[in-house]
């Protein structure tokens, strides 16, 4: 492959990568803002893990996918399931179910982080379960997600790819003008 062809392939690849990154970042930022913080992809909510209570399975700073549960599904979980629930402070926690207690119509779960020495002190009522872990983790991507949902991150992740595309477009236009000028000079010198 000649140098010009290689440069053209690299140039086209860079254009595609920049365009895809702009679209992806726009989707993430808009989805995060629309859902109130965490985006949803293919019917799964994306959550950022802020502690090491589930290590080594889920690393601190990872993002995980959870499948939101319908009300009737919340009372059918079993021992060993990893669930995300609201605690009494209204914060989200992802831990493993270690025991299920059924009292009449009421169901509650005893949960424990895999890395914790003891079970959580408060049982989790079925109605406080938000979703079930979908066995999907991207280690350390939560740090980027937290940044993306901040004002500075939203601005940077939408503006930077846009600026890169503009710079690249300017470079392409400049290259096209130079090529046109060369052809014009060649044409004028031939006549």
What residues are annotated to the active site?
51
Phi then psi for residue 105, to 5 deg, are -85, -15
| 151: DSSP letter | H
Please answer whether residues 18 and 26 qualify as being in contact, where contact means their C-beta atoms are separated by less than 8 angstroms: no
Q: How far is residue 189's CA from residue 174's CA, in Å, rounded to a whole number?
A: 22
- Taking alpha carbons only, the member of 52, 50, 114 closest to residue 82 is 114
Q: How far is residue 157's CA from residue 150's CA, in Å, rounded to a whole number?
A: 10
Q: How far is residue 89's CA from residue 114's CA, in Å, rounded to a whole number?
A: 21
Q: How many CB atoms lie within 10 A of CB 98?
A: 13
Q: How far is residue 102's CA from residue 78's CA, in Å, rounded to a whole number?
A: 11
């Amino acid at each position: 492959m000649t140098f010009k062809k290689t440069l053209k392939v690299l140039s086209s690849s860079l254009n595609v990568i920049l365009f895809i990154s702009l679209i992806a970042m726009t989707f993430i930022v808009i989805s995060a803002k629309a859902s109130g913080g965490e985006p949803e992809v293919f019917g799964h909510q994306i959550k950022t893990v802020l502690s090491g209570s589930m290590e080594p399975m889920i690393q601190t700073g990872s993002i995980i996918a959870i499948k939101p549960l319908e009300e009737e599904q919340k009372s059918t979980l079993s021992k060993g399931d990893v669930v995300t629930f609201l605690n009494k402070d209204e914060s989200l926690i992802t831990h493993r179910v270690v025991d299920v207690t059924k009292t009449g119509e009421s169901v509650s779960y005893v949960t424990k982080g895999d890395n914790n020495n003891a079970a959580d002190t408060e049982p989790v009522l079925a109605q406080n379960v938000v979703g079930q872990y979908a066995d999907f983790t991207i280690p350390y991507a939560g740090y980027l997600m937290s940044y993306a949902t901040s004002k500075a991150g939203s601005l940077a992740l939408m503006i930077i790819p846009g600026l890169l595309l503009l710079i690249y477009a300017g470079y392409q236009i400049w290259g096209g003008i130079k090529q046109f000028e060369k052809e014009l000079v060649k044409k004028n010198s031939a006549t």
